Amino acid sequence: MITMKFGGTSVGDAQRLCEVAAIVRSHLSRRPVVVASAMSGVTDLLLGTARLALERKKDEGLRNTEELRRKHLEIVMALVEPGDARDRLVREQGELIDKLETLFRGVHLLGELSPRSLDAIASFGELLSCMQIAAILEARGIPARFVDARPLIRTDSSYGEAAVDIAVSNDRIRAALLPLVESGVVPVVTGFVASNAEEITTTLGRSGSDYTASIVGAALGCSEIWIWTDVDGVMTADPRVVEGASPLGEISYREAAEMSYFGAKVIHPKAMQPAIEHGTPIRIKNTFNPSHPGTLISSAGNSSAKIVKNVTSIDKLGLVAVEGSGLMGAPGVIARLFAALARVGVNVMMISQASSEHNVCLIIPEQDCRRAVEELRAELDPELARKAVEAVRVRDSVSIIAVVGEGMRGVPGIAARTFTAAARADINVIAIAQGSSELNISFVVDQSEAHRAVRAIHDAFDLG
Ligand code: ASP
Ligand code: MG
């Protein structure tokens, strides 16, 4: 058995959906379970329409629901033969969109849009999409069944990004899906959506369908989880930055996790967890190039291959530096800095402090810099007043360069090669960090030099 997840672009138009059907057909002997996202753009459209309803922009909202109706109807008319099955699908999709309009009207009337309501509204994208995928498969002679994942995947009530109760979910997933697969039916399971103990709809967070696929694949004991997307796999670098970037054949879970920022465009970082726990390999495959083997992510991950596997720049960041002699040997200062940032909801992406303890530098999203600095200055006000802390400085427009590979652990000289490459390209390194897992060397450069740095390191390690 395998689980196959198709993302928004893979189910985004009639031609792509024909591809999906062809892919499922060609792997029927593997007994596939399909997990799918909403058609591309639909989740954004739903959330956008909910906000329009809140702002009481009725006409724009109506235009959006009409677009939704048209978008799905067009697919059904193109891909499902006239007949009872089509009539039923059109009716059921129509009823869903009617229900959605009722919800929008509710938001409009109450002038209130809670995270709970947003989840209820967002869930319609996957319901509409999976309903039609099942019908399209059936229309092509592939026995298939639409499966609403909400009764199967149990979460807490953290609307917007709920936490999954794996034990409860596993039992339900097995009970619902195994009989279908055993009778030769392809279940088409809604990604992204779930429900809490009160059976109220929740979601697993944006791009959460990968996570659904991983939960389902692990629960069913699938031999592999295939994430179908629009690239040949995880690449050595962003192909828009490095011309010679190429897909990686195999990587380990740990490498995938270290690449999570870059890889997040390919797979949701959360999707790694259930797979790791069950030792289920994840394969990234390209719907536009289905015969390509893609990237296999597993515990082995081909450690004999290259030492460094991937180099990425994370752009649009800011560097906040806290400096002063009063930081030295003062326990609890770092805790206060992090607590202050947590209070204003700022995520720290990298931290570096040299052993002099004179300077702590934190890398955060650029758009959060102002908020972060204000809060840090307030927190450190007493220290600033007595000059124990000299300054809280900020520098905009920096990038993190992350160099990732399991093979670099215990191998001397990787940092030297990395920084020699940067130096040869005349790039100034502002700050450096490496976790003791030795899987990832990260350093900070000015954003204007970031892509040059990526290319230089990609070259230096012969990644192309
Ligand atoms: N449709 C959801 C989203 O756009 C989930 C997904 O695509 O995986 O975030
Ligand atoms: Mg998506």
Whether 29 and 123 share a structural domain:
yes
Residue 399 domain-assigned? yes
3-state secondary structure of 309: coil
| CB of 37 sitting under 6 A from ligand 1 | yes
What is the DSSP code string of 143-185?
A: -EEEE-STTTSBB-S-TTSPPB-HHHHHHHHHHHHHHHHHTT-
Total domain count, the chain: 2
- Could you say which of 229, 257, 292 is where a domain stops? 229
What is the signed CA dihedral for 83, 21, 31, 122, rounded to 10 degrees?
-80
Number of helices (H), then strands (E), in the chain? 15, 16
CB–CB of 232/287 below 8 Å?
no
E-assigned strand segments in 309-390: 310-323, 350-353, 359-365
Whether 58 and 156 share a structural domain:
yes
Q: From CA 7, how far away is CA 284, in angstroms rounded?
A: 12
Kindly identify the ligand whose nearest atom is closest to the C-alpha of 208: 1
Range of the domain at 56: 2-229
The reported pLDDT for the residue numbered 464 is 85
Pull the structure tokens for residue 222.
């699938």
Report phi then psi at 432, rounded to 5: -135, 145
| CB of 10 sitting under 6 A from ligand 1 | no
Residue 270 domain-assigned? no
CB–CB of 277/211 below 8 Å?
no
CB–CB of 399/313 below 8 Å?
yes
The reported pLDDT for the residue numbered 201 is 98
| CB of 12 sitting under 6 A from ligand 1 | no
Whether 191 and 70 share a structural domain:
yes
E-assigned strand segments in 236-348: 250-252, 282-286, 295-298, 310-323
3-state secondary structure of 334: helix
Whether 351 and 215 share a structural domain:
no
Whether 224 and 314 share a structural domain:
no
| CB of 38 sitting under 6 A from ligand 1 | yes
| CB of 170 sitting under 6 A from ligand 1 | no
Half-sphere exposure of 267 (CA within 13 A, CB side): 35
Give strand pairing partners of 363: 319, 350
| pLDDT digits 0-9 by tens, 394-405 | 999 999 999 999
What is the DSSP code string of 78-104?
A: HHS-SSHHHHHHHHHHHHHHHHHHHHH
Whether 177 and 35 share a structural domain:
yes
Whether 173 and 319 share a structural domain:
no
| pLDDT digits 0-9 by tens, 426-441 | 999 999 988 777 888 9
| pLDDT digits 0-9 by tens, 409-419 | 888 899 999 99
pTM greater than 0.85 = yes
| CB of 405 sitting under 6 A from ligand 1 | no
Residue 345 domain-assigned? yes
Lowest mean pLDDT among 49-53, 85-89, 358-362: 358-362
CB–CB of 433/206 below 8 Å?
no
Kindly identify the ligand whose nearest atom is closest to the C-alpha of 39: 1
> Which residue's CA is the nearest one to ligand 1's atom 5?
207
The reported pLDDT for the residue numbered 401 is 95
Asked if the model's pLDDT at residue 303 lies above 80, the reply is: no
The reported pLDDT for the residue numbered 164 is 98
- Could you say which of 162, 194, 229 is where a domain stops? 229
Q: From CA 89, how far away is CA 19, in angstroms rounded?
A: 20
Distance of CA 456 from the midpoint of ligand 1 (Å): 35
| CB of 192 sitting under 6 A from ligand 1 | yes
Q: Specify the pairing of strand 224-229 against strand 2-6.
A: parallel
Residue 52 domain-assigned? yes
- CA 251 → CA 235, 278, 285, 308, 406, distances in Å? 10, 17, 14, 11, 9
What order do you get walking across the sheet with 32-36 strand by strand?
Answer: 144-147, 186-190, 32-36, 2-6, 224-229, 282-286, 295-298, 250-252
Residues counted in the chain: 464
Whether 87 and 199 share a structural domain:
yes
CATH of the domain at 321: 3.30.2130.10
Which atom of ligand 1 is found nearest the CA of 209?
8
What is the sign of the dihedral through the CA atoms of 370, 375, 377 and 378?
positive
Mean pLDDT, range 338-352, rounded to an integer: 93
Residue 428 domain-assigned? yes
Whether 139 and 41 share a structural domain:
yes
Tell me the Cα Rg of the chain: 25
The reported pLDDT for the residue numbered 195 is 98
Mean pLDDT, range 307-330, rounded to an integer: 89
Residue 274 domain-assigned? no
Residue 330 domain-assigned? yes
| pLDDT digits 0-9 by tens, 22-59 | 999 999 999 999 999 999 999 999 999 999 999 988 88
Whether 219 and 350 share a structural domain:
no
Which atom of ligand 1 is found nearest the CA of 210?
8
- Could you say which of 191, 207, 229 is where a domain stops? 229
Asked if the model's pLDDT at residue 329 lies above 90, the reply is: no
Whether 204 and 315 share a structural domain:
no
| CB of 209 sitting under 6 A from ligand 1 | yes
Whether 70 and 211 share a structural domain:
yes
CATH of the domain at 139: 3.40.1160.10
Residue 444 domain-assigned? yes
Distance of CA 359 from the midpoint of ligand 1 (Å): 40
